[in-house]
Structure 1
Amino acid sequence: LWIGIEEEPLIPTPEIVKFQVYPNPFRNRIDIRWQMIDGRLKTKDISLKIYDVSGRIVKTFNLASCFLLPASAVSWDGRDDKGNMLETGVYFILLIRDGLEPIRQKVVLLK
């Protein structure tokens, strides 16, 4: 006699195999690149946001307008969503994937 519940098999979650941010520190522009190994994660399922040290979102990228997966990239010129140049300092880039732990990268903006 066996009593239990049937479990669905685990489906491997799409992971990022490469997440590169360079140059770091940067002055004029920083390139943010990522590459997926599983094409089931669509562009609408991820977002890219940049935060200042106080935790305030300073820049949000519309990834739906980016080149489609598996490899994608954006450039950031150190400006906020309003087009203002940000101050010299530390910022945090977060690649947020639905249902998965965000990937974080600390960057330094120089003048």
Structure 2
Amino acid sequence: RANELLFVYHDDLGVMALDLPALGGGQAPRGAATTLATLATGGALQLSPNPFRGDVTFRFETSRASHARLDVFDLAGRRVTTLVDRRLVAGPQTLTWSGRDRTGAAVAPGVYFVRLTRDGSSETERIVRLR
């Protein structure tokens, strides 16, 4: 998963995100694209505030106890950090991101994509970090 990429495309119809398996170590591709999602505001994944300067809060609901993963990607499709990757109980969930990457360094101001995978589906939202 370390070589995972998120391809982002923007046109007049909106923003599209496509997960692409990466090639590494001479291995064959792991398969076709796993997710194609149109990014839209007001989805099940709520981000607040957006844009943000310090911390940002993510809210979502799990319909049943299940595994959930919340990743942050930069515009180049590189995973910046993983906020959660574990089994969650059913019900409302709240996570906070301090705007830091997986090494603890503050990320640069700019556009990022947050991908939530849970209950057998995934959704992606755009978020903006200000100076």
Would you call these one fold, judging by a TM-score over 0.5? yes
Say whether residues 1:106 and 2:129 are aligned partners. no
Bigger RCO (CA 8 Å, 6+ sep) = 1
Identity of aligned residues (%): 31
Alignment root-mean-square deviation, CA: 2.0
Aligned residue number for residue 30 of structure 1: 56
Contact kept? 2:61, 2:91, Cα under 8 Å: yes
The answer as to whether partners of 2:55 and 2:99 remain within 8 angstroms in 1 is yes
Higher strand share: 2
Unaligned runs of 5+ in 2: 1-42
Match of 1:61 in 2: 83
Corresponding pairs, count:
89
**Which runs of 5 or more residues in structure 1 are unaligned?**
1-16
State which of 101, 112, 117 in structure 2 corresponds to 1:96.
117
Q: Which residue of 2 aligns with 1:71?
A: 92
Runs of 4+ in 1 over 3 A off after TM superposition: 63-66
Separation (CA, whole Å) in 2 of partners of 1:79 and 1:95: 18
Largest Rg, 1 or 2: 1
Rounded to whole Å, the distance in 2 between the matches of 1:57 and 1:63 is: 13
Shift of residue 96 of structure 1? 1.2
Q: Which TM-score applies when normalising by structure 2? A: 0.61
